[in-house]
Amino acid sequence: MILPIYIYGHPVLRAENVVVAPDSPKLQEIIENMKETMYHTQGIGIAAPQVGVNARIVYIDVNVLAEDFPELKDVRMLLINPEITVDETAPEVTREEGCLSVPGIHENVSRHEKIHLHWQDEQFQEHDQDIEGYLARVVQHECDHLEKTLFVDRISPIRKQLIRNKLNNMVKGKFSCDYRCKIAPHNRKK
């Protein structure tokens, strides 16, 4: 089922996300809905809170970027309880990002170029992988959602100031996008 995307300003994006266990209710259904919603909205990654579920689940499919980044061909990852470790001394790279929950805004974000990722798959098998480049960026962006962080929290103060009106309007539901959205309940536009 295609679910609405929860938008900047909705409290679900700032709520605690629970660790997922094999007996977590409706786990398979949540995963299927996340995938369906992400493909429908043409995203390359989605985190469970973006569809209103406060659980530590991320789905990534970056295959559409394979033309620019050959290493992303057929890269699809379902991450349950992902944990990132970074070498804080390693260089960061800056690149433009966007987010299904922040429609119409694209800003430069600085991220670690290399990360180490630990996660569980749908069968709760443990995985460890060193990840770098664009995929490392997508993983960090999505895992940020699980820590209640959005990419606009990471942009420079001057840029944040420049998009403040847009963000304030977004909270009130004044924005356009071509998929179904959900804004904070008390902020519906009159």
Which residues are marked as active site? 142
Does the footprint of Ni ion cover residue 38 (CB under 5 A)?
A: no
For residue 119, the SS3 value is strand
Does the footprint of Ni ion cover residue 99 (CB under 5 A)?
A: yes
Cα separation of 173 and 87, whole Å? Answer: 39
For residue 171, what are the β-bridge partners? none
Does the footprint of Ni ion cover residue 44 (CB under 5 A)?
A: no
Backbone angles phi, psi at 83, to 5 degrees: -135, 130
Evaluate the CA torsion angle 160, 163, 164, 169 in order and state its sign.
negative
Does the footprint of Ni ion cover residue 62 (CB under 5 A)?
A: no
Cα separation of 140 and 137, whole Å? Answer: 5
Cα separation of 99 and 150, whole Å? Answer: 8
Shortest Cβ distance from residue 123 to Ni ion (Å)? 26
Does the footprint of Ni ion cover residue 55 (CB under 5 A)?
A: no
Residue with the two structure tokens 């995938």: 35
Shortest Cβ distance from residue 43 to Ni ion (Å)? 8
Shortest Cβ distance from residue 50 to Ni ion (Å)? 6
Q: Considering only 11-19, 96-104, 129-137, 154-162, which stretch makes contact with Ni ion by CB under 5 A?
A: 96-104
CB-wise, 21 or 138, nearer to Ni ion? Answer: 138
Residues that bind Ni ion (CB under 5 A): 99
